[in-house]
Amino acid sequence: MLTVKEAIEKIKENTNKCNETIEIDSFESTGYVLAQDIISDINVPDFPKSAMDGYAFNHKDLEDNNKFKVIGENAAGDFNDYPYEKNTCVRVMTGAYVPDGYDCVVKQEDVIIENDMINVLNPVGKHFNYCVVGEDIKKGETLIKKGTIINSGHIGIFAGIGLDLVKVYRPLKVSLISTGSELIKPGEKLEKGKIYAISTYMIKAILEKYKIDVVETKIVDDDIENIKKSIEEAKDVDAIITTGGVSVGKYDYIEKIYELLNIKTLFKKVKMKPGTPVTSGKYKDKIILSVSGNPFAAMVNFQVLFWSVVEKYYESTYYSNKVYERIVKNSYLKPSKINRFVRAKTDGEFVELESLHNSSVISNLSKCNCLVLQNPNEEIKEGDKVKIIYLF
C-alpha cells in the first residue's frame, strides 16, 4: 500500500496540465481559473477626487485664513478645471474632480456660509478627504496572478479597471461513472434491495461548485462489459471518476477492467481509512480515480486524492488540501492502525468530532466542514491538538 502522500504524487505525475484557454465575459467568470496575470493599464482613480461632500481648498490657505470665496462647483462626473486662486475654494461632491491647486477637502458640516463667503470652522491638512491619483490601483500594477480562482472581489477589480473580457483555463472535464446493480437515480421508485446513488450526486455537486465540467454522469450495473464500455466511451474528458467495485467481492470488477483495457495501474490500495481499497490508473491520456462504493469512504477518497488532479491540471495550489491545527473539544477517538480521516466540525479554534463514523453513513456529513487527520496508533482526546483539512 502507498501512503497518502505517495498516492498524491503518483496522481500528479500522471495528470496532464491544461494547455487550452478560453476568453469569457469577465463578469461571468466567477469560479473559473485565471490564465493570465491581470495588470492595470490605468490609475484608479485617474484624477484627484473628493472623498466627501464639501469644499476643496489649498491647505496652505487654511493655515492663515478662514474666510473664502467659492469660485465654482463640481458634482460627481463633472470635470470643470477651475484655475486656482489664493483664498478661494470649489464646492465638490463625493467622487467629484478636485481641480489643480486644491489639495484637501473640508466637509460641508464644518463650514458656515456667510454673505456668499465660506467660513471654515475646522481647517484640515494636505490630502485630507482627498483621493490622490492611483490611490486604489496604480497603472502597471499586477493585481491578480495567473492560476487564481476568480471570486466576487476579483470581479470588482475587473470592473474597476474596465476589463470586460478575461482569459481563463478551459474547465477540467470529468466523466463520473457509478457502478453497482443496487444503485438507482433519485426520483425513481425505491424497490427492495435498491438504494439511491448518494456518492454520485454528492461528488457531482462538489465538482460543479468549482466550475469543473461534469460531461456525463452514469450509473452502471455490476457487469464487466457495461462498465468497460462506459470507460471506453468517456473520450472527451480529462479525468474519469468511478465509484464502487474496488474491493475483493465477487462483483468488484474494477481491477479486472483495468487489465482488459490495458489501463496503467498507479496504485490499488492506500494507507487511509476509510477507503483503503482506492485505485487509480492512466488510461490513454486520462487519469482515472476509482473510489469506494460506500458514500463516506467515497467522499474521503475524493476529498483527499482527487484535488491533486485539479491542482496539477490548473497548476494552482489553491486546490491542495491545506492542513490546519485545531484543539479537540468534547471528543474521543480510539487508535487506528493506519491514517484515518474523521468527519468533524470546526469553529476556527476548536474541533468537535462526530460520534458516528460508519463509511455508509452520510446524514451527519451535512453538519461537518472538515476532516480530522488521525495518525497511526494515535489516541485523540479532549484538549489534544490535531490536524484538519477543510472539506471543499
Residues 291, 307: one domain?
yes
Residue ending a domain, choose from 286, 319, 352: 319
Residue 256's pLDDT band, with cuts at 50, 70 and 90, is: very high
Average pLDDT over residues 119-135: 97
For residues 108 and 139, membership in a common domain is answered with no
Residues 188 and 145 in one domain: no
pLDDT (tens digit per residue) in 148-186:
999 999 999 999 999 999 999 999 999 999 999 999 999
Which of 269, 289, 319 corresponds to the end of one domain? 319
Sign (positive or negative) of CA dihedral 73, 157, 153, 205: positive
Q: How many domains does the chain have?
A: 4
CATH number of 61's domain? 2.170.190.11
Cell, residue 178: 457509478
pLDDT classification of 234: cutoffs 50, 70, 90: very high
Q: How far apart are CA 212 and CA 306, in angstroms?
A: 12
Q: Is 71 in the same domain as 162? A: no
User: What is the percent of the chain with per-residue pLDDT over 90, rounded to a whole number?
Assistant: 95
Q: What gap in Å lies between CA 389 and CA 110, rounded to an integer? A: 53
Question: Domain containing 383 — which CATH number?
Answer: 2.40.340.10
Same structural domain for residues 158 and 248? no
Is the pLDDT confidence value at 356 over 90? no
Residues 331 and 219 in one domain: no
Does residue 209 sit in the same domain as residue 239? yes
- CATH number of the domain bearing residue 26: 3.90.105.10
Partnered with residue 373 across adjacent β-strands are: 341, 387
Q: Which tens digit of pLDDT belongs to each residue from 273-299?
A: 999 999 999 999 999 999 999 999 999
Over residues 192-202, mean pLDDT: 96
The pLDDT tens digits for 66-105 are: 999 999 999 999 999 999 999 999 999 999 999 999 999 9
What was the pLDDT predicted at 116?
A: 83
- Domain of 195: which CATH number? 3.40.980.10
Does residue 115 have a pLDDT over 90? Answer: no
What residue numbers bound the domain in which 60 lies? Answer: 49-131
Instruction: Quote the CA–CA distance of 179 and 272 in Å, as a whole number.
Output: 22
**193 and 113 assigned to the same domain:** no
State whether 10 and 94 are in the same domain.
Answer: no
pLDDT in tens, 309-325: 999 999 998 999 999 99
**Residue 324: CB atoms within 10 Å:** 13
Q: Name the domain boundary from 121, 154, 169.
A: 169
Regarding whether 250 and 194 lie in a shared domain, the answer is yes
Burial label for 258, CB within 10 Å (0-12, 13-18, 19+), is buried
pLDDT(330) > 90: no
Answer yes or no: do 290 and 212 share one domain.
yes
Asked if residue 145 and residue 110 are part of one domain, the reply reads: no
195-196 vs 380-381, strand pairing mode:
unpaired
DSSP for 374-391?
EPTT--EETT-EEEEEE-
